Amino acid sequence: MAFLSYLANGISLGSVYAIIALGYTMVYGIAKMLNFAHGDVIMVGAYIAFCATSYLGLPSIVAILLAMAVCTILGITIEGLAYKPLRAAPSLAVLITAIGVSYFLQNAALLIWGSAPKSFPSLVGIPPLKLFEGKLIITGEAIVTVIACIVIMIGLTLFTGKTRMGKAMRAVSEDKGAAQLMGINVNHTISVTFAIGSALAAIAGVLLCSAYPVLLPTTGSMPGIKAFTAAVFGGIGSIPGAMVGGILLGIIEIFGKAYISTQLADAIVFSVLIIVLLVKPTGLLGKAINEKV
């Protein structure tokens, strides 16, 4: 029974990673950049939701929507101010800028909300599910997280597969130049990608802090890095890959904590990444990229 309980926790944590990883992977797929500030957008989303409920007394759903709106604007602003001017710059310059944005967001949060941890109230009003006569308890947070993850996955698959904007995104991710010559506004497409990724980050922030209720300005960085790992693990640029990578990573982390060592759990997670990349450098579901020379 303990096994099932760990598995449920693993899938729930993995779903949060998956939602964050989707943001990384979409931005990478379309703008070909690693947005290392993505994890900190999660933290901002969580703080916004915290303020909306604790200070303003808004209902949970309004708080989540507000966090999504703020993060969407934040994402578009970061992209427009920090990354857009570097569109033609070498990828190392963009990467360093992204790390700079990450520090900026953390320190801005430190300035606004202080260094004292905030106790995040759970925004999920669902009672835990008791199975097997109460031997297996699955928290309401875990249920909502997994459902949210599935809904987001289906939504994104429909969006990229069926809508006009989604098709434009896939075209841009394959060949920016050709897409432009077909009349597709690449800058607009990249902005939309950042908007979607950041809105998802807000959801991930709320879900993460509902399950692990300590909110700090650095709250986003570790899950951010792990979600990045998940995206690479699953195959960066691939939406199903981010999903599979995220959930597997969550399960490995929880099992590692439960059966091997709490201290070594993170080391195990990253070791798995190294092993996967050694065996399959493109990640689990990644496509081989033929670089043009």
Partner 1 sequence: MSKMVPLPTNSIIPERDLDKIPVLETRHLGIDFGGLTAVDEFNLTIGRTEIAGLIGPNGAGKTTVFNLLTKVYQPTRGTILLDGKETSGMSTVQVNQAGIARTFQNIRLFSSLTVEENVKIGLHNQVKYRTVNGLLRLPSYWKQEKIAHERALELLSIFNMEDLAEHRAGSLPYGAQRRLEIVRALATNPSLLLLDEPAAGMNPSETAELMENITKIRDTFQIAIMLIEHDMNLVMGICEGICVLNYGRIIAKGTADEIKRNPVVIEAYLGKKKEG
Shortest distance, position 155 Cβ to partner 1, whole Å: 7
Instruction: For residue 4, state whether it binds partner 1 (rule: CB under 8 A).
Output: no
> Are 245 and 272 spatial neighbours (Cβ–Cβ below 8 Å)?
no
Shortest distance, position 240 Cβ to partner 1, whole Å: 14
Residues 179 and 185: their CA atoms lie apart, in Å, by: 8
In eight-state DSSP terms, residue 259 is I
Helix locations, the chain, DSSP H: 2-31, 38-54, 60-78, 91-113, 140-162, 164-174, 176-181, 186-211, 221-234, 239-255, 265-279
- Strand-pairing partners, residue 118, are 215
Q: What is the DSSP string of 65-125?
A: HHHHHHHHHHHHHHIIIIIGGGTTS-HHHHHHHHHHHHHHHHHHHHHHH-SSPEEPPP---
Shortest distance, position 162 Cβ to partner 1, whole Å: 6
Residue 186-215 contact track with partner 1, rule CB under 8 A, x = bound: x-----------------------------
Residue 33-72 contact track with partner 1, rule CB under 8 A, x = bound: ----------------------------------------
Instruction: For residue 153, state whether it binds partner 1 (rule: CB under 8 A).
Output: no
> Are 149 and 19 spatial neighbours (Cβ–Cβ below 8 Å)?
yes
Shortest distance, position 191 Cβ to partner 1, whole Å: 13
Question: Stretches 36-44, 69-77, 151-159, 245-253: which one binds partner 1 (CB under 8 A)?
Answer: 151-159
Shortest distance, position 173 Cβ to partner 1, whole Å: 9
In Å, what is the CA distance from 149 to each residue of 12, 124, 242? 9, 15, 11
Shortest distance, position 168 Cβ to partner 1, whole Å: 6
State which residue, 104 or 159, has the beta carbon closest to partner 1.
159
Ramachandran angles phi, psi of 170, nearest 5°: -65, -35
> Are 106 and 217 spatial neighbours (Cβ–Cβ below 8 Å)?
yes
Instruction: For residue 87, state whether it binds partner 1 (rule: CB under 8 A).
Output: no
Interface residue with partner 1 among 86, 131, 137, 184 (CB under 8 A) is: 184
State which residue, 21 or 156, has the beta carbon closest to partner 1.
156
Q: Quickly tell me which residue has 């708080």 as its tokens.
A: 63
State which residue, 111 or 158, has the beta carbon closest to partner 1.
158
Q: Which of residues 154-183 bind partner 1 (CB under 8 A)?
A: 155, 158-159, 162-168, 170-171, 174-175, 177-183
**Measured CA angle at 150 (ends 287, 219), to 5 deg:** 85
Q: Which residues sit at the interface with partner 1, rule CB under 8 A?
A: 155, 158-159, 162-168, 170-171, 174-175, 177-186, 287
